[in-house]
């Protein structure tokens, strides 16, 4: 069943890289509020400015496209290679290669910021806040996201009890397979709840002088987020429960892998639907946008990492990709940033170590 491992990796990597490319490098940059993480400005579309702007955007788009195509081709080639420790290592490194798509984005971001300076575009320093919708616009119904994740916790406890032999039921799968599988899904649950709350509490955007428009716009966006997290929570929990049941009765390795492929495909579909919905909302409210957006481009390092000492917020909406990110100048943001970096570097070192010691070969069944 090693071919299914390759399918899982392929299903994870290819849609992600395509989505990253589509979100980072817009086909119609002139129609977006942000281009390569830089706020659009009328001076970008006048005379010499337009030429330089087009050159920067085209270069970034081409760079992003080359990396995307390279990752897709590599994934296709690796589908046909036998599963060994080395190819498993290559697959994992290919996951990290996804970050390379951010390189032309970051380069383009820096060039556009330089162009802003050349064109004499200075930030206005103006921020708008709608006090009517402060702390009022929310779309997440907390019980709807807690309920599935609480069920996941119950499912995990049941799995542990079965594996410990407390329930008198003996699982057909090998010892502790049930617990390991359930804990993996529970780990996702534990991440989903705070993320859902975080996205529901992101700052409301002020696009209009009409408070009702602002409230509707922000509520629509937060509703999309809430729906994504609720859907993901239910999918995650249903998978956990399905695995608990399947592993009690059978020890089918194929069933496990097929389930994982289906799980990843459904999660990807949820994210894609979410992105489509968000784009539709942006288009719907395009004509209602009458206020100038805050120019905080300089607080976005490479257009990806938010660092603003004067901002007390922890979570902000991402500029590259889809979702939220943290303010790295916030004390909690610094901790999250360092931990994420350590996990990332640690994972690469661990995988290389496992391959060097031949343990990846064992996992691959070689």
Rounded Cα distance between 163 and 187, Å, is 18
Nearer to other proteins, 282 or 311 (CB): 311
Task: Count the neighbouring beta carbons within 10 Å of the beta carbon of residue 300.
Answer: 23
Is there binding between residue 131 and other proteins (CB under 8 A)?
Answer: yes
Is there binding between residue 16 and other proteins (CB under 8 A)?
Answer: no
Is there binding between residue 313 and other proteins (CB under 8 A)?
Answer: yes
Is there binding between residue 134 and other proteins (CB under 8 A)?
Answer: yes
Q: Are 252 and 246 in contact (CB under 8 A)?
A: yes
Is there binding between residue 312 and other proteins (CB under 8 A)?
Answer: yes
Q: How far is the CB of 39 from other proteins (least distance, A)?
A: 16
Of the listed pieces 41-49, 86-94, 209-217, 357-365, which binds other proteins according to CB under 8 A?
A: 209-217
Maximum distance among all Cα pairs of the chain, rounded to whole angstroms: 78
Q: Which of 102, 108, 101, 100 is nearest to 55 (CA)?
A: 108
Nearer to other proteins, 156 or 315 (CB): 315
Is there binding between residue 120 and other proteins (CB under 8 A)?
Answer: no
Element (H, E) at 62: helix 47-79
Q: Beta strand 315-317 with 324-326: parallel, antiparallel or unpaired? A: antiparallel
Is there binding between residue 126 and other proteins (CB under 8 A)?
Answer: yes
Contact with other proteins (CB under 8 A) among 26, 59, 84, 211: 211
Q: Which residues pair with 324 in a beta bridge?
A: 317
Is there binding between residue 334 and other proteins (CB under 8 A)?
Answer: no
Give one word for 101, left, alpha or beta, with left for phi > 0 and alpha for psi -120 to 50. Answer: alpha
Contact with other proteins (CB under 8 A) among 42, 168, 310, 331: 310
Is there binding between residue 78 and other proteins (CB under 8 A)?
Answer: no
Classified as helix, coil or strand, 170 is coil
Nearer to other proteins, 33 or 123 (CB): 123
Of the listed pieces 89-97, 141-149, 163-171, 305-313, which binds other proteins according to CB under 8 A?
A: 305-313
Q: Are 13 and 76 in contact (CB under 8 A)?
A: no
End-to-end Cα, the chain, rounded Å: 12
Binding site for other proteins (CB under 8 A): 124-132, 134-135, 203-204, 206, 209, 211, 214, 291, 308, 310-313
């Amino acid at each position: 069943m090693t071919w299914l491992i390759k399918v899982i990796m392929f299903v994870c990597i290819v849609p992600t890289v395509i989505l990253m490319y589509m979100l980072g490098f817009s086909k119609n940059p002139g129609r977006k509020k942000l281009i390569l993480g830089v706020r659009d400005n009328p001076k970008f579309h006048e005379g010499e400015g337009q030429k330089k702007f087009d050159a920067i955007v085209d270069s970034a788009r081409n760079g992003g496209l080359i990396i995307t195509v390279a990752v897709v081709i590599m994934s296709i080639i690796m589908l046909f290679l036998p599963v060994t420790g080395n190819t498993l290592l290559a697959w994992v490194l290919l996951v990290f290669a996804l970050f390379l798509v951010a390189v032309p984005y970051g380069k383009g971001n820096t060039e556009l910021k330089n162009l802003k300076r050349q064109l004499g575009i200075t930030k206005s320093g103006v921020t708008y806040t709608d006090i009517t919708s402060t702390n009022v616009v929310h779309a997440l119904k907390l019980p709807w996201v807690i309920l599935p994740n609480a069920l996941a916790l119950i499912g995990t406890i049941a799995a542990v009890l079965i594996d410990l032999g407390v329930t008198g039921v003996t699982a057909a799968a090998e010892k502790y397979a049930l617990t390991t599988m359930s804990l993996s899904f529970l780990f996702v649950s534990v991440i989903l709840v705070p993320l859902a709350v975080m996205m529901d509490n992101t700052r409301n955007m002020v696009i209009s002088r009409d408070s009702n428009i602002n409230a509707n716009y922000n509520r629509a966006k937060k509703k999309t987020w809430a729906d994504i997290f609720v859907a993901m929570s239910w999918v995650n929990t249903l998978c956990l429960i399905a695995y608990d049941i399947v592993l009690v009765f059978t020890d089918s390795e194929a069933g496990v892998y097929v389930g994982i492929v289906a799980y990843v495909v459904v999660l990807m579909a949820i994210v894609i639907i979410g992105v489509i919905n968000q784009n539709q909302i942006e288009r719907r409210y395009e004509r209602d946008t009458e206020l100038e957006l805050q120019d905080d481009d300089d607080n976005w390092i490479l257009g990806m990492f938010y660092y603003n000492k004067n901002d007390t917020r922890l979570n902000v909406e991402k500029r590259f990709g889809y979702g939220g990110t943290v303010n790295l100048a916030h004390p909690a943001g610094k901790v999250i940033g360092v931990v994420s970096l350590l996990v990332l570097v640690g994972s690469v070192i661990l995988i290389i170590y496992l391959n060097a010691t031949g343990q990846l070969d064992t996992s691959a069944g070689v």
